[in-house]
A and B are shown apart, each in its own frame.
Chain A
Amino acid sequence: MAQLNMVQALNTALHELFAADPRVLLMGEDVGKNGGVFRVSEGLFDQFGGTRVIDTPLAESGIIGTAIGLAVGGMRPIAEIQFMGFLYPGLDQLFSHAGRLRARSMERVTVPLVVRMPYGGGIRAPEQHADSAEAYLTHTPGLKVVVPSTPYDAKGLLYAAVEDPDPVIFLEPIRMYRLGRMEVPEGRFTVPIGQARIAREGQDLTLISWGAMTHLALTVAEDWASRGISIEVLDMRTLAPLDREAIGRSVAKTGRCVIVHEAPRTGGLAGEITALIMETAFWSLKAPVARVTGFDVPYPAYAWEDFYMPNAERLTKAIVDTLKD
């Protein structure tokens, strides 16, 4: 089995999906000969040509809006937005149409669309290239939102997203693109949308994370293991719909929970997950749920990035507080 990083896993999945289904298309800025700014579509243009690997005009609403029409019309488009910070002109298409057309048409029209985009910070990118805007999307009925944190999940979730009959937003944590390799099987396999993954089993506290924050959570959990504290890391993988069962099961077991995300705190998903814990595991809680998040400031230029991003120190402090009885 091949040892792949996340970019290679996504690239492999795209090649396989293109070969298996002639309806599958990729469209976006620089996805063609350039292979995407992160090289996720490397080689795809040479193999499948410009009618399926489509360099578009530089217009996010146009990309997503046109992809909606292609999806309704029988194709399986994958739209790429170059960075999540540039998604905002396309949000209207997601809010007003992609998430509503099935319901508004009483299912006469469906939108089997995938919108991929690199997201998140931590790589010293230029301003506005590091946003984590997932909460806008999870708040929108009709959309599904997934975030792999490993190469294996990236491939399996991309298969699931392309085969899904509903619009799926596919967030790719930039920091994880080339951070580590793992065995990724050849050929088709899916990671089901809506299922979290226990990235590390533990008994004393649940750390809930997604994307690049899962990497941080695992590092910190490892550190605590040497001190005799067993931390469970729950990698959500899907943010809409949230795997409520998995959250409830883990927190009911450990009785303590810290949620970590890069996005700003107010209105961030940690609040929603906390509410789900109130519904599913309140009577098992031994301490208040804590959250470690980005701050309620615009994602800063990179000189301030280390202040903004949740790190081991902040996470450790929250864990110490949560472990107090």
Chain B
Amino acid sequence: MEAWPIYRVMGDEANAPNEVSDDLALRIYKDMVLLRTFDEKTLNLQHQGRVGTFAPSLGQEATEIGSAYALSKQDWLVPSYRDHGALYVHGVPFENVILFAMGRAGSLAGDVRALPSSIPIATHLPHAVGLAMAMQMQGEQAIAIAYFGDGGTSEGDFHEALNFAGVFKAPVVFLCQNNGWAISVPVSRQTGSPTLAQKAVAYGISGIRVDGNDALAVYQAVKQARERALSGGGATLIEAITYRIGPHTTADDPTRYRSSEDLVPWKGEQDPITRLGRYLEKQGILAESDLDQLRQEARDWINQAVEATEALPPANAAEMFEHVYSVMPPRLAQQLAELEGGADPWHS
């Protein structure tokens, strides 16, 4: 795969210069710790029955956080269900993520330019193309970025979206997090192609493989793809090679399909937080003891967010009907009345 080297900034195998300031690297690191802590906390909450099924991004923090730091707030973020880390950096508070995990339709906030996390696989990729075209048509200096996994590359909409992006030179970035697994199915069952990035060639767009556990490399790769898109260079498919060290979701038991030995390097030397932490220690801007303090601060902050979220009023029935159409049609008003047990206007 000489034509498809893995772009790396940190470590012995680095092949690209670092362009990230120490200050920015530290901010990325802190948010990676926050995301890890959030996922651990939410897994606990799920075990206690306080939130529903949840998809943690354990092990993928460098890709989640590093990529989102490369965006402008004007950019459209088109996420999948494991991308609360990127959404958080883009402006969606973790309270909303907790709400989403509690089964509420609250995954967005304010005027953050993001779509609700797509649950079906890869069907959101064409939306990113359309959003990117809309930005271009309206003369905005903004791109769209779609987040998806290795399994998503098998879907028809992956093909249709990349094909449209190539034809229309849409300013869009396709960020594929190759975390090795689509629930229990390894990436070798998704493609006969040696890499996912090389699929870009067929669509006439740029493709790059990046070390998805190297936060600085992910940041730089997304930033370059964004700049290429804005300067008329078209779309980029980024294959970020990472590893899902947790379950697919809380409903999944990975011991059924992989051994704990597989996880050893990814939880050790390859752990994205360990790697960026070491880099920052070398730079002299982080001491090992800082990590404990950071994690404690993150836990406290998340506990407050959980309490605030749990203190919100419970879901009410009207909300289920009020947001389906711009104006509630009579049939929904009748069904709401029926549910609430009041007078039934349809039979009166």
A89 to chain B, nearest CB (A): 7
Known: A59-B163, A109-B115, A241-B329. A103 touches B126 (CB 8 A): no
A48 to chain B, nearest CB (A): 13
Contact of A92 among B108, B120, B127, B167 (CB under 8 A): B120
Complex Cα distance A65/B156, Å?
Answer: 12
Known: A65-B130, A109-B108, A244-B331. A92 touches B123 (CB 8 A): yes
Contact of B326 among A56, A77, A96, A166 (CB under 8 A): A166
Contact A57–B163 (Cβ < 8 Å): yes
Known: A92-B120, A105-B108, A107-B323. A59 touches B160 (CB 8 A): yes
Partner-contacting stretch, out of B131-139, B272-280, B290-298 = B131-139
Complex Cα distance A14/B123, Å?
Answer: 29
Residues of B within 8 A of A104 (CB): 105, 107, 116
A191 to chain B, nearest CB (A): 17
Residue B164 CB within 8 A of the other chain: yes
Residues of A within 8 A of B108 (CB): 105-106, 108-109
Contact A102–B323 (Cβ < 8 Å): yes
Contact with A along B304-329 (1 / 0, CB 8 A): 00000000000000010001111001
Known: A92-B120, A96-B120, A141-B324. A61 touches B126 (CB 8 A): yes
Known: A59-B160, A244-B331. A142 touches B126 (CB 8 A): no
Residue A41 CB within 8 A of the other chain: no
Contact A57–B157 (Cβ < 8 Å): no
A175 to chain B, nearest CB (A): 29
Residue A70 CB within 8 A of the other chain: yes
Residues of A within 8 A of B216 (CB): none
Complex Cα distance A102/B319, Å?
Answer: 12
B78 closest partner in A (C-beta): A69
A61 to chain B, nearest CB (A): 5
B328 to chain A, nearest CB (A): 10
Complex Cα distance A82/B138, Å?
Answer: 28
Residue B76 CB within 8 A of the other chain: yes
B167 closest partner in A (C-beta): A57
Residue B330 CB within 8 A of the other chain: yes
Contact B134–A70 (Cβ < 8 Å): yes
B157 closest partner in A (C-beta): A61
Residue B347 CB within 8 A of the other chain: yes
Residue B124 CB within 8 A of the other chain: yes
Residues of A within 8 A of B124 (CB): 65, 97
A28 to chain B, nearest CB (A): 13
Known: A65-B161, A110-B326, A166-B326. A73 touches B126 (CB 8 A): no
Contact of A66 among B105, B106, B129, B138 (CB under 8 A): B129
A66 closest partner in B (C-beta): B130
B166 to chain A, nearest CB (A): 9
Complex Cα distance A62/B160, Å?
Answer: 5
Complex Cα distance A59/B124, Å?
Answer: 15
Residues of A within 8 A of B319 (CB): 106
Contact with B along A177-199 (1 / 0, CB 8 A): 00000000000000000100000
B203 to chain A, nearest CB (A): 10
Contact A59–B329 (Cβ < 8 Å): no
Residues of A within 8 A of B163 (CB): 57, 59, 62
Interface residue total, chain A, C-beta cutoff 8 A: 47
B344 closest partner in A (C-beta): A279
Contact A97–B123 (Cβ < 8 Å): yes
Contact of A65 among B126, B135, B138, B346 (CB under 8 A): B126
Complex Cα distance A222/B130, Å?
Answer: 49
Contact with A along B64-101 (1 / 0, CB 8 A): 00000000000010100000000000000000000000
Residues of B within 8 A of A67 (CB): 130
Of the candidates A57, A61, A62, A110, the one having the most CB atoms from chain B within 10 angstroms of its own CB is A62
Contact A93–B134 (Cβ < 8 Å): no
Residue A323 CB within 8 A of the other chain: no
Residues of B within 8 A of A142 (CB): 324-325
Contact B129–A69 (Cβ < 8 Å): yes
Contact A105–B105 (Cβ < 8 Å): yes
Contact B157–A72 (Cβ < 8 Å): no
Contact B137–A75 (Cβ < 8 Å): yes
Residue A101 CB within 8 A of the other chain: yes
Complex Cα distance A103/B323, Å?
Answer: 5
Residues of B within 8 A of A242 (CB): 331
Complex Cα distance A92/B156, Å?
Answer: 11
Complex Cα distance A77/B133, Å?
Answer: 11
Residue A74 CB within 8 A of the other chain: yes
Residues of A within 8 A of B326 (CB): 102, 110, 164-166
A22 closest partner in B (C-beta): B137
Residues of B within 8 A of A103 (CB): 105, 323-324
Contact B130–A73 (Cβ < 8 Å): yes
B137 closest partner in A (C-beta): A75
Residue B125 CB within 8 A of the other chain: yes
A243 closest partner in B (C-beta): B330
Contact A61–B160 (Cβ < 8 Å): yes
B127 to chain A, nearest CB (A): 4
Complex Cα distance A74/B138, Å?
Answer: 8
A-B residue pairs in contact (CB < 8 Å), sample of 17: A51-B137, A62-B129, A65-B125, A65-B126, A68-B130, A69-B128, A69-B130, A69-B144, A72-B130, A73-B130, A77-B130, A92-B120, A92-B157, A97-B118, A108-B111, A141-B324, A245-B330
Using a CB–CB cutoff of 8 Å, the interface residues on chain B facing chain A are: 76, 78, 105-109, 111, 115-116, 118-120, 123-135, 137-138, 144, 156-157, 160-161, 163-164, 167, 319, 323-326, 329-331, 346-347
Please give me the 4 A-B residue pairs with the lowest Cβ-Cβ distance, nearest first.
Answer: A69-B130, A65-B126, A73-B134, A62-B160
Using a CB–CB cutoff of 8 Å, the interface residues on chain A facing chain B are: 51, 56-57, 59, 61-62, 64-75, 77, 89, 92-93, 96-97, 101-110, 141-142, 144, 164-166, 194, 241-242, 244-245, 279-280
19 more A-B residue pairs beyond the given contacts A69-B130, A70-B133, A97-B123, with a C-beta to C-beta distance below 8 A: A56-B164, A61-B160, A62-B126, A62-B164, A66-B130, A69-B78, A69-B134, A71-B130, A72-B127, A105-B105, A105-B116, A106-B319, A141-B324, A144-B325, A166-B325, A166-B326, A242-B331, A244-B346, A279-B346
